[in-house]
């Protein structure tokens, strides 16, 4: 499969549509929070929210016909560069699209002076975990803002510099 990577704004309609698909997948994997205290559900929503001002890059993997088949974002979380919302549609999976998106945001962070990138996944996302581990990411402790609301998180880092 041939795709081009396209830098877009966070609110690009194609990016929004892909994130909605990812949200639906996460509800299917983890539930919708109805069996927990409402305050915990609200706190988790806040932890997962992304402020537009913090976004440093939003990329789409786009086919020749203009259809977006993949999405990734990179944000600043305090002083850290954090990978957010990596999704690849089933039609484009196992074709290297996710790895290309991941490599590109790593390069953006490196050019921005980042020493590492971090990311958070869940314990019900084995394909994502396999991608991260095979891409040189190593496990780190769960970091804020996920500690309280998603203690089952699997968090990773990838060093971008040798020091």
Q: What is the CATH number of the domain that holds 127?
A: 3.40.630.30
What radius of gyration, in Å, describes the C-alpha atoms of the chain? 15
Q: What is the DSSP letter of 161?
A: S
Tell me the per-residue pLDDT of 135-155, one tens digit each, with 9 for 90 and over.
999 999 999 999 988 888 999
pTM: 0.89
Strand order through the sheet with 116-121: 4-7, 55-62, 68-77, 80-88, 116-121, 154-159, 138-140
Indicate the number of domains in the chain.
1
Contact 137, 155 (CB under 8 A): no
Q: How confident is the model at residue 29 (pLDDT cuts 50, 70, 90)?
A: low
């Amino acid at each position: 499969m041939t795709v081009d990577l396209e830098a877009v704004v966070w609110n690009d309609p194609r990016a929004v549509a892909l994130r909605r698909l990812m949200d639906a997948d996460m509800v299917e994997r983890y539930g919708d929070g109805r069996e927990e205290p409402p305050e915990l559900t609200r706190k988790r929503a806040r932890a997962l929210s992304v402020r537009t001002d913090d976004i440093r890059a939003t990329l789409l993997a786009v086919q020749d016909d203009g259809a977006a088949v993949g999405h990734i974002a990179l944000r600043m979380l305090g002083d850290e560069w954090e990978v957010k919302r990596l999704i690849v549609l089933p039609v484009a999976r196992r074709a290297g699209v996710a790895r290309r998106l991941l490599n590109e945001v790593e390069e953006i962070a490196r050019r921005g002076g980042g020493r590492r990138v971090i990311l958070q996944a869940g314990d019900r996302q084995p394909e994502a975990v396999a991608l991260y581990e095979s891409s040189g990411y190593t496990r780190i402790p769960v970091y804020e803002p996920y500690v309280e609301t998603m203690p089952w998180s699997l968090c990773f880092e990838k060093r971008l510099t040798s020091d």
